[in-house]
Amino acid sequence: MIEILNRLVDEVEAHLNDDLDLDALARELGTTGYHARRMFASLAGMPVSEYVRRRRMTVAAGDVIGGEDLLATAVRYGYGSTEAFGRAFRAVHGVSHGDVRRDGGPLRSQPQLRFRLTVEGTTPMDTRILPRPAFRLVGHAARVPLQYEGVNSAIQEHIASLPAAEHERLKLLNSTEPAGLLQVSADVDPDDPEGSELTYLHGVAVEAGTAVPDDLDVIDVEAGEWAVFRTSGEHPAALQAAWAATATEWFPSNPWRLRPGPALVAVLERAPDFRTATCDLWLPVEHA
């Protein structure tokens, strides 16, 4: 996987002035565009689309300072107007192209990335691969911001808005694995940056075809295999660290890759104040 990501970086560099078909490249390298995007975002801390924009604007800054025609520069880097180019330029550098042309800066350059894998082997990951038939996730959904670290206040507020009786009602509906109340993250596009919206569902798993009360939201999940990672410790830090480690340690070392689908968290045990917890993280996977 590390070799694939470095090849992707090389191809981005070769296509700064035109479009890169990442899905075709991923197929050529023996994986999928979805998995490559997810791994890139997890390891680089930004989606591929953001990296491409930063690299293009880094190189474009030289053209701007050199006095080249702005429209020609905009078109060269994939923008149909100087206005669109200007917005992207300011988003990356924090100043307008006019300021840079006049003053020569300041500029925020994006260096070319290079991925390396360091295998420590000191923290074995407790993992199971489980085949599951199709099932449904039912509960209460909300749109919340994507957040990689710390407590997501929007999710907290959503859960707190549900009365205690509703949690018990959902538990009674649960009829299949994963058991218990689940924290579900769905509709996450690998190209979405942190802060963009995803669907969060607080609910349970039921068998496919189960009739669902009209007041509940439903996410239908396709049959397939799941990698289940057991985490324990400070919450949510231990869970988030394990999630990051799947990209840095587990996927590069195992013959599996992510497939489209929701990510599920089942809380198995927790302290009364929720500062510590034992959880199962379920990620949809397929054999690489």
Give the span between the Cα atoms of 29 and 25, in whole angstroms.
6
The reply to whether omega before 272 is within 30° of 0 (cis) is no
The 3-state secondary structure of 211-266, one letter per residue: CCCCCCEEEEECCEEEEEEEEEEECCHHHHHHHHHHHHHHHHHCCEEECCCCEEEE
pLDDT value, residue 243: 85
CA-based nearest residue to 105, from 118, 89, 87: 89
Q: Evaluate if residue 143 carries a pLDDT over 90.
A: yes
pLDDT value, residue 150: 74
Among 88-92, 130-134, 224-228, 247-251, the range scoring the smallest mean pLDDT is 247-251
Query: Cα torsion at 84, 43, 20, 283 (round to 10°)?
Result: -110
Q: Evaluate if residue 214 carries a pLDDT over 80.
A: yes
Q: For 111-123, what is the mean pLDDT?
A: 68
Task: Assign 120 a pLDDT band (cuts: 50, 70, 90).
Answer: low
What is the three-class DSSP state of 142? Answer: strand
pLDDT value, residue 236: 85
pLDDT value, residue 106: 74
pLDDT value, residue 58: 87
Q: For the chain, what is the mean pLDDT?
A: 88
pLDDT, greater one: 172 or 148: 172
| CA-to-CA separations, 42 to 103, 201, 243, 247, in angstroms, rounded | 36, 22, 9, 6
Q: Evaluate if residue 199 carries a pLDDT over 80.
A: yes
pLDDT, greater one: 150 or 261: 261
Task: Assign 194 a pLDDT band (cuts: 50, 70, 90).
Answer: confident
Q: Which residue has the tokens 């993250």?
A: 185
Helices marked H in the chain — which ranges?
2-14, 22-28, 33-44, 48-65, 70-76, 82-93, 97-103, 153-160, 164-173, 237-245, 251-253
pLDDT value, residue 131: 94
pLDDT value, residue 118: 58
Max mean pLDDT range (39-43, 53-57, 60-64, 221-225): 221-225
pLDDT digits (tens, 9 = 90+) for 226-249: 999 999 899 888 888 888 888 878
pLDDT digits (tens, 9 = 90+) for 2-42: 888 899 999 999 988 888 899 999 999 899 999 999 989 88
Give the span between the Cα atoms of 130 and 269, in whole angstroms.
21
Task: Assign 123 a pLDDT band (cuts: 50, 70, 90).
Answer: low
Rg (CA), the chain: 22
Task: Assign 90 a pLDDT band (cuts: 50, 70, 90).
Answer: confident
pLDDT value, residue 183: 95
